[in-house]
Structure 1
Amino acid sequence: MELKDIQNLIKFVAKSGASEVKLEMEDIKITVKTGPSKTETTFSQSVLSPVQIPVVSQVVPLAVAPVVPAAAVAAVTEENNESNLLTITSPIIGTFYRKPSPDKSNFIEIGDSVSADSVVCVIEAMKLFNEIESEVSGKIVKVLVDDSSPVEFGQPLFLVDPL
């Protein structure tokens, strides 16, 4: 198993919300434990040859830098509670784009109506551009993310006033 595969496993476990995952294969054993403030990963390999391989232990803190300031998130939460607005969130980590390409216009603007399955933006992840569709119907009230900004999984992108 390559280091890149192990790193992808750590990221997947952190996103999934699982508290502990154990993976055992022929010659490798991996345990990934996550908590509210840290992710702990233990790797051990056993080889039948006389050469001893050291056990590698690595603690990887989950550093999540909020793109939206906490005060703005609190204001959005209050506004959302007061007026029953719906939120379109990011289903993946990547770079947020409002346009399909630089020479085209935005998918949607404030005041536009969207229906379920309307494309509202694209998110680039690993050189792939993923079209993000609205899961709700209504009128776009606010765009919460700047164009070409990084976004996290579950991050609010748009506020929608339901019809």
Structure 2
Amino acid sequence: MDLKEIQNLIKFVAKSGASEVKLEMEDVKITIRTTSEENKETTIVQQMPLGNAVPAAQPVAQVQQTAAPVAAETSAASSEEDNSKYITIKSPIIGTLYRKPSPDKSNFIEVGDSIKEGDVLCIIEAMKLFNEIESEVSGKIVKVLADDNSPVEFDQPLFLVDPS
């Protein structure tokens, strides 16, 4: 893996909002951690031995790149109070979120739509498998928290639902 590929990986992780990504190949181990307080990604590239002995890994290169802030901060106190009456639907898996069944179709749900248990909310692609994410609650969609065609993490909030 060359330096340009590592830099592209850093940019992808910064855009995705992931807090940590680990990539291990035959002779290279890469860890990318994003720290929100400094808005930096730190990439550590380590050479792993090819033999049977596994000594402590030593860093070969360290690249730091400053990323743009992922989201602007709003008044956190007021938004937490407003959101406390809503149910948050979270991602059950890691993958790429799609809000449409196919590119030429409309979104499964929009803000203001009423949903019931079992309704398909979105699709998350993981390892070339398309998993329909069904609602476990009934209510009205208040807010969509994840963009179409974007990477999502396990337990990442996707939708806010008003159960009343």
TM-score of the superposition, structure 2-length normalised? 0.56
CA distance in 2 between partners of 1:77 and 1:151 (Å): 22
CA distance in 1 between partners of 2:147 and 2:111 (Å): 13
Q: 1:92 to 1:76 in 2, by over 3 A?
A: farther
- Which of 1 and 2 has greater Rg? 1
Gaps of 5+ in 2: 1-23, 26-51, 60-68
CA RMSD of aligned residues (A): 3.4
SS in 2 for 1:87: strand
What is aligned with 1:154? Answer: 155
What is aligned with 1:43? Answer: none
Q: 1:86 to 1:58 in 2, by over 3 A?
A: farther
Deviation at 1:122, TM superposition (A): 0.5
SS in 2 for 1:77: helix
What is aligned with 2:55? Answer: 55
Deviation at 1:78, TM superposition (A): 2.9
What is aligned with 2:112? Answer: 111
SS in 2 for 1:55: coil
Identity of aligned residues (%): 65
Contact 1:67 1:151 in 2 (8 A): no
What is aligned with 1:139? Answer: 140
2:90 aligned with 1:102, yes or no?
Answer: no
Q: Which runs of 4+ in 1 moved over 6 A?
A: none
Deviation at 1:148, TM superposition (A): 1.0
Deviation at 1:69, TM superposition (A): 5.2
TM-score of the superposition, structure 1-length normalised? 0.56
Equivalent residues, number: 114
